[in-house]
Copies of this chain bind each other. A is one copy, B any other.
Amino acid sequence: MVPKNFVVDVHTHMYPPSYIKILETRSTIPIVRSFPHSSERRLILLESEVESLEKALKDPSTRPPGRPLSSQYTSLDQKIRFMDVHKIDISVISLANPWLDFLDADDAGAIGASVNEEFSNMCRQHHGRLFFFGTLPLTAPLETILASIKQLRDLKYCRGIILGTSGLGKGLDDPALLPILEAVAAAQFTIFLHPHYGLPNEVWGPRAEEYGHVLPLALGFPMETTIAVARMYLAGVFDKVPELRMLLAHSGGTLPFLAGRIESCILHDGLLSGKGKGAKSRRTIWDVLREQVYLDAVIYSEVGLKAATEASGGDRLMFGTDHPFFPPLVTGEEGLWESVSLNADAVAKTNEAGVGSAAATMGMNAIRVLNLVEQA
């Protein structure tokens, strides 16, 4: 008997209703609100949407910013239906960006505990089909953050932590973050590193509004992830926390493509070579990609997925959908999503080209690494 090849989605988000309520009370991004002439509530997340939000508030005839807040974002039933339609056996759900990053220090701990509890309950309702990445209240005091990691250790379905790139506000190369990363690693939690902040708006130029969300999402997000990991690498974080394991969103941003250039720039930098960081004996970014990093397969092309697989190894890629983002605009949300098939097709083609294995990428790597199937 051939064992079943599971399909696992490691990149799939939710906003629990309690979280949406918080966004509804806010007056700045991230925010959920209605606009005149538009029946649906809209979800406005990105710093690049500040201007269009201001315009829409002043002039109701303007196209409202953000995206429609469909039930796909909040409903557990929809998540399960989406999994069934796309033949996904197991999903590792996570709170979507910007997580708890914007909360007041006083509120963050309690809200975080409640959100993590909510994710845990969702998983319990669909035992065996759902696991989750927890969220840390990073604006709270250190002891609250560490207590949150302790809480997550006790939640049966938790398999890691979803983390943005701001850390405690100074990025992931901040030494003050080390005790947190150590506690996460000690809990054997994988960190799912996910972008949110993108790049400063000025880089998109004066015509950015004409291009919708394409530049901040298609380029800003993966570039943010790449910069965050490169800063961690240069600060020695992967050496300082050797048990640290990170799953990088969007196939590592652009790391697989730029790893060679990063290495060459280190080798040829007078300052770093003077500090011995250019030494041949040091662990290269390639070593980190192959030993401490996993990559999701959310890259929408065979070209990208092959590079990611060759950079990290076929045993380190994990399929994801990014649901409920990128819904089909024309065919409706109940059928097959093209954003899913683009990634599944890339996995199949990469497998046909002899790079990695479709079974491993589609689920078996996640099963093994995140320990998703109970031993008999």
Asked if A256 is an interface residue, CB under 8 A from chain B, the answer is yes
Within 8 A of B (CB), among A210-260: 210-215, 217-219, 222-224, 226-227, 230-231, 234-235, 250-251, 254, 256-260
- Indicate which residue in B204, B230, B251, B342 contacts A227 across the interface (CB closer than 8 Å): B204
- Indicate which residue in B213, B262, B300, B303 contacts A214 across the interface (CB closer than 8 Å): B262
Bound-state Cα–Cα, A273 to B262, Å: 36
Set of chain B residues within 8 Å of A254, measured between Cβ atoms:
222-223, 254, 257-258
Interface residue SS majority, chain A? helix
Output the nearest chain B residue to A252 by Cβ-Cβ distance: B257
Within 8 A of B (CB), among A318-376: 326-330, 338-339, 342, 346
Nearest-Cβ distance from residue A195 to partner chain B, whole angstroms: 12
Given contacts A227-B219, A329-B270, contact A206 B260 (CB under 8 A): no
- Beta-carbon contact of A299 and B257 below 8 Å: yes
Output the nearest chain B residue to A327 by Cβ-Cβ distance: B268
Interface centre among A204, A213, A214 (most CB of B within 10 A): A214
Set of chain B residues within 8 Å of A226, measured between Cβ atoms:
219, 223
Write the A277-295 contact mask toward B (1 if CB under 8 angstroms, else 0). 0100000000000000000
Given contacts A67-B270, A234-B215, contact A170 B205 (CB under 8 A): yes
List 4 additional A-B contacts (Cβ < 8 Å) besides A200-B203, A210-B235, A215-B231: A200-B200, A204-B227, A211-B231, A250-B261
Would you list the 10 A-B pairs with minimal beta carbon distance, nearest first?
A260-B301, A260-B300, A212-B271, A257-B257, A218-B265, A212-B269, A254-B254, A307-B307, A264-B300, A171-B205
A-B contact pairs, 7 of them (CB 8 A): A210-B234, A210-B235, A212-B271, A218-B230, A257-B303, A268-B339, A302-B310
